[in-house]
Amino acid sequence: MKVLVVDDEKLIRDVIREYLLLEDYEVYEASDGVEAVELVKTIDFDIIIMDIMMPKMDGYRACKIIKEMKDVPFILLSARSEEYDKLFGFELGIDDYVTKPFSPKELVSRIKAVTRRKNKESVRYVFDGLVLDDSSHEVYVDKKKVNLTPKEYELLKYLMDNKNIAISRESLLTNIWGYDYYGEDRTIDTHIKTLRNHLGKYRKFIVTLRKVGYKFEYKEK
C-alpha cells in the first residue's frame, strides 16, 4: 500500500515513516502542499497523511486540489483542535482528523481503519463470543443473533475498527452521525447504553473513558 506523508517537519515525517515501514507500507514524503500535489499527479496513493499548517500551500488547499484530481482517502494532522478546523476538514471530504501530538501507533491503526472502510472489504470481527459479520450486516453473541439498530451497528463497528484507541464523543458524533450533526453528547451515551445491553457479558469490551469518550478494549489471548 502506498502512503504519502506530507508535513513540513522532517522529524514528524521520519517518525511516521518508521512506523509505516514496520507495516510494510510503501512510504513517500512531501514537505508542503505543492510537493504533494505534484506527486499525486504521477503516483496513485492509497491514503494521504497531510499536515494542515505548512509553507507554500497549506493542507486544506492541497487536499481540495487533490480531491478534484483523484478520490484518495485523507487523514489530516494538526496542532489545532478547534471544532471549526475539524468541520472544515470533513467538509473537504477527509476521512479522519488527528490532533498533534499523537501516538504513531494510533495513527497506524487509524490508517488501517480508513483504508479498510474505503476498500469496502467484507470484515468479520471475532472477539471471543462476540462476532460482527459485515458481509451479512449481523452481530452474534455466543452464536445467538442480536438485533441492533443501524446506528448501534455502525457505532459498534467503528469502535471495533479502532480497537484499543480512545475515541472522543465528538469524534463518534462526527463519524457516525455526520460532521453536520449538532446533537448532544447524550446521544452517544444513550446509544452506548443500549448497545451494551445487547452485548450481554461482552459489554465489558466497551470501556468508558471519563471526560474523554469510549474505547473498545480487547487484549489478544
Do 149 and 168 share a domain, yes or no?
yes
| Global confidence as pTM | 0.57
pLDDT in tens, 97-112: 888 888 888 899 889 8
pLDDT in tens, 135-187: 788 999 999 999 988 889 989 999 998 999 999 888 888 778 764 444 555 77
Do 64 and 22 share a domain, yes or no?
yes
Banded pLDDT at 87 (limits 50, 70, 90): confident
**CB proximity list for 196: less than 8 A, separation 6 or greater:** 203, 206
Do 33 and 98 share a domain, yes or no?
yes
Q: Which residues of 99-134 are buried (b: 16+ CB within 10 A; e: fewer)?
A: eeeeeeeebbbbbbbbbebeeeeeeebeeeebbbeb
Single-letter amino acid code for the residue at 155: L
Q: Which domain holds residue 164?
A: 124-216
Q: Say how far apart CA 160 and CA 190 lie, in whole Å.
A: 18
CATH number at residue 57: 3.40.50.2300
Q: Does 170 reside within a domain?
A: yes
pLDDT confidence of residue 135: 77
Q: Say how far apart CA 68 and CA 50 lie, in whole Å.
A: 16
- Give the end of a domain, one of 118, 134, 159: 118
Do 168 and 210 share a domain, yes or no?
yes
pLDDT confidence of residue 180: 47
- Give the end of a domain, one of 118, 144, 168: 118
**CB proximity list for 163: less than 8 A, separation 6 or greater:** 109, 216, 217, 218
Do 138 and 183 share a domain, yes or no?
yes
CB-CB neighbours of 215 under 10 Å: 18
Do 10 and 95 share a domain, yes or no?
yes
Q: Say how far apart CA 144 and CA 121 lie, in whole Å.
A: 24
- CB-count exposure of residue 46 (10 Å: 0-12, 13-18, 19+): middle
DSSP alpha helix (H) spans, 70-172: 83-91, 104-118, 150-161, 169-172
